[in-house]
Structure 1
Amino acid sequence: MTAKTTVPRSTTAQQPPAPGKATINDIARLAGVSKKTVSRVINDSPLVKPDTRAKVHALMREYGYAPDPQARGLAFRKSFLVGLVFDNPTAQYIVNMQYGVLDALRDTGYELVVHPCDSKREGYIDGIRRFVLQQKLHGVILIPRVSEDQALAEALREIDCRYVRIASVPFDEAGRMLVTQDRIAGAEAADYLESLGHRRIGLITGPKRYRSSIERGGGFLDALAKRGVQVPPENVYEGGYTFESGVAGAEQLLSRPDRPTAIFACNDEMAAGVYKAAQRMGISIPVELSVVGYDDSPLASQLWPAMTTVRLPVRDVGRQAASLLLAQDASQVAVMASVTPHLVARDSCLPPQAG
């Protein structure tokens, strides 16, 4: 008679998963419930008993299980991804914007994906359309300059994609817009410099194709005109929102025989370029030249002397935009959301020297 060989049964399936490696099936097995019940817990279904819900949540925390947003979207025929679309803003701006969006998404089950693009390239709208469809996005947040593109907004409506546009002026209905009031901020910078006694004033704008540049510079010039100060065209330089363009603009303005006693640059990077040019030319800030920037990036307080600038609460802008995107029905939003930047006076401005 042949002896039977007993093979031990594998217990691998019954072993607890390693932290961070658990699947929905593991959580269901450990909780003694079905996979469908775990899914209901994840999606806050009222059909789950409180004690079961608590047990599943405890196991998810213990084993570091986080549901995949893409998988959730497929299972429930909706996406749990929010896109942030941008075209070459400054690095600090996009970091602060992401922090604000993430503030609003926290504990909502939604996740953020980013999509940099080049709005000057032909076909960039088709690239954004593919991004939206491939990721099955719940919606997108558009920041300047792409937020100013009406063709892009129309393309998103065609594919039934929610969006919120962040811009200096209203371009859309209230439920799809967050306005940053750049013209008001530009006017505040002008009022401040004129109140110090400056009459020979220079302006370094951003690119003309950016509406923020038009609003900041336009508000600045209009406010000076109301105070009786005219800025000649030769005292206005079109920059590129870059440090290098700030240097070039300042060198041109400060080379004039009747050089400005103050310069307003439409972002902090260009204003930092003004510092560089002034240092090269032996012009003291703020004794011989007052400088005002825009954004209140960390750079502004790190420069010496600390820069007077317009503070744009970028993180709050991102938070509000994301909250607006997650609203149930954008058509029901009656009041357009907005934020108003304000001047932060530091050490880079003084009254002009006599004579």
Structure 2
Amino acid sequence: MPRPRGTHDARAELRGRAATINDIARLAGVSKKTVSRVINQSPLVRADTREKVETLMREVGYVPDPMARGLAFRRSFLIGMIYDNPTAQYIVDIQYGALDALRDSGFELIVHPCDSRSPGYIDGVRRFVQLQKLHGVMLVPRVSEDQALADMLDELGCRYARIAAVALDSPERMVVTHDRDGGAEVADYLQTLGHRELAMITGPATYRSAMERSEGFIGALRRRGIEIPPERLAEGGYTFESGVAAAERLLALPAPPTAIFCGNDEMAAGVYRVAVRAGVRIPQQLSVVGYDDSPLATRLWPPLTTVRRDTRDTGRMAAALLLQNSTASGVRLSVRPHLVVRDSCGPPA
């Protein structure tokens, strides 16, 4: 075996290209099989050899190829994340959470955006899963609510973890976000401020999260003897533009609402835009509440009262489910929402 090279020589030889497992073996003076054993934490490697190989990998910035590892072990080291969601910040936070769980696990995250309205989207997901030979899949709302998609993954024998507003599957496959409770807490808060002329901008009717938030809000108000007339319910698309369109209609009513609950913070920002244009002051003349507690909530003025759900923690839990050796823990994971009160609400004028 050749003698291992010094760090300086190794870096010089690899300058301008990424190191391979063959490079590590040659530079460390060991076999490729030994390097593979070090990467996969095999106990069959002597401590001094392990330390030498790991030191060299760190010094030259070598990163194991998860696809190659999958071929060697006849299983994938890739976790897929499938989503069709218009809220970019939500998706980013889910990814950060998943990466938290996967750090130092040897697994990598690969994302697959799709259009769940397309008739062939399930076949597209099937091809993605089979091509990448995924170890497991995270399903993010709204695709997590599609039972046909879950059934297809089950048929393939692919693990999956669903994030949804309610329990749609067995505990070992679910992270539940309890969106109905968040909507109910908003209703209770606005009612205690004295609001009775309320409106809501919901998310898309096809989203279970939108249904749960609106039913939680409307149901809690009804229990307090307050009804929202149909003209004060507007369907949005979880986007800024849909919030603008809905707010223009609501604030143009002969008797406009004194408070508006929005299904997410993006739509609440749209309400702010319309209110400023109309000369309606927040919170003196109009109270506004959002949902998500995204970074946008503290960038608006006045800062937005909103429902916080720890999206990053949700992503971490979903990815962690896929790494468990056992698939029958019996414990259903939950992320509970709670209201964060800021300056966008006050008593009705």
Q: Is the 8 A contact 2:39 2:64 kept in 1?
A: yes
Q: Distance in 2 between matches of 1:195 and 1:351?
A: 9
Spell out the pairing of 1:9-158 with structure 2 (5 A cutoff): 16-18=13-15, 21-158=18-155
Q: Distance in 1 between matches of 2:80 and 2:163?
A: 14
Larger mean CA deviation between 295-304 and 29-38 belongs to 29-38
For the pair 1:346 / 2:342, whether they are aligned, the reply is yes
Q: Distance in 2 between matches of 1:245 and 1:31?
A: 59
Q: Distance in 2 between matches of 1:138 and 1:165?
A: 15
Match of 2:4 in 1: none
Moved runs in structure 1, 4+ residues, more than 6 A?
A: none
Q: Structure 2 residue aligned with 1:305, among 298, 302, 306? A: 302
List gaps (5 residues or longer) in structure 1.
1-11
Aligned-pair CA distance for 1:343: 0.7
- Once the two structures are superposed, residues 65-119 of structure 1 have per-residue CA deviations (whole angstroms, 9 ceiling, x without a partner) of 1110001001110101111110033111111111111111110111111100000
Change (3 A) 1:250 1:47: same
Aligned-pair CA distance for 1:21: 2.4
Q: Is the 8 A contact 1:148 1:211 kept in 2?
A: yes
Q: Distance in 2 between matches of 1:277 and 1:112?
A: 39
Match of 1:160 in 2: 157
Aligned-pair CA distance for 1:151: 0.2
Q: Structure 2 residue aligned with 1:280, among 277, 282, 286? A: 277
Aligned-pair CA distance for 1:20: 5.8
Q: Is the 8 A contact 2:86 2:239 kept in 1?
A: no
Q: Is the 8 A contact 1:20 1:65 kept in 2?
A: no
What is the SS of the residue equivalent to 1:140?
strand
- Once the two structures are superposed, residues 304-353 of structure 1 have per-residue CA deviations (whole angstroms, 9 ceiling, x without a partner) of 111101112111111111111111122x2211001011111111000011
Match of 2:251 in 1: 254
Give the TM-score taking structure 2 as reference length: 0.95
Q: Is the 8 A contact 1:19 1:64 kept in 2?
A: no
- Once the two structures are superposed, residues 188-244 of structure 1 have per-residue CA deviations (whole angstroms, 9 ceiling, x without a partner) of 111110010000000110111000000000000111111221111111111111111
- Percent of aligned pairs with the same residue? 66
List gaps (5 residues or longer) in structure 2.
1-8
Q: Distance in 2 between matches of 1:123 and 1:138?
A: 23
What is the SS of the residue equivalent to 1:84?
strand
Aligned-pair CA distance for 1:25: 1.4
Match of 2:183 in 1: 186
Q: Distance in 2 between matches of 1:126 and 1:64?
A: 38
Larger mean CA deviation between 49-58 and 118-127 belongs to 49-58
Q: Which has the larger radius of gyration?
A: 1
- Once the two structures are superposed, residues 242-301 of structure 1 have per-residue CA deviations (whole angstroms, 9 ceiling, x without a partner) of 111111111111112221100000001111111111112221110000000001111111
Q: Is the 8 A contact 2:82 2:112 kept in 1?
A: yes
Larger mean CA deviation between 23-32 and 309-318 belongs to 23-32
The CA RMSD over aligned residues, in Å, is 1.4
Q: Is the 8 A contact 2:85 2:141 kept in 1?
A: no
Residue correspondences, number: 340
Give the TM-score taking structure 1 as reference length: 0.93
Match of 1:3 in 2: none
